[in-house]
Homo-oligomer: A and B are copies of this chain.
Amino acid sequence: MKKFRVYVTYKPSVFDPQGDTITDAAKDLGYQTIQAIHVGKFFDIEVDDSEGTAAQTVEELAEKLLVNFNLEVYRYEQLGED
């Protein structure tokens, strides 16, 4: 079994209201050294690789299920193997 992590973030051109809200909250708490905070999500995927298709499966899943290509971009990495 292989483990992959898919990182999904907003496109740079897309407004990140959550990130901006958290940045403001941090400054309200007195953390003036904070310049910016951006929010993303990730998916840890455990996939059987006996047929050698694990990476392809992860890419297909990202494109069909996990990522909204109008707003988001993604990249993935293999975390490990059991």
Contacts and interface: CB of A to CB of B under 8 A. Distances in A.
Contacts of A39: 41-44
Contacts of A42: 7, 39-42
A68 interface: no
A20 interface: no
B45 A33 contact: no
A14 interface: no
B33 A51 contact: yes
Interface of A: 1, 7, 19, 22, 25-26, 29, 31, 33-51, 53-54, 57, 60-61, 64-66
13 contacts: A25-B65, A29-B64, A31-B57, A31-B60, A33-B47, A33-B48, A33-B51, A34-B47, A36-B45, A36-B46, A37-B45, A40-B42, A40-B43
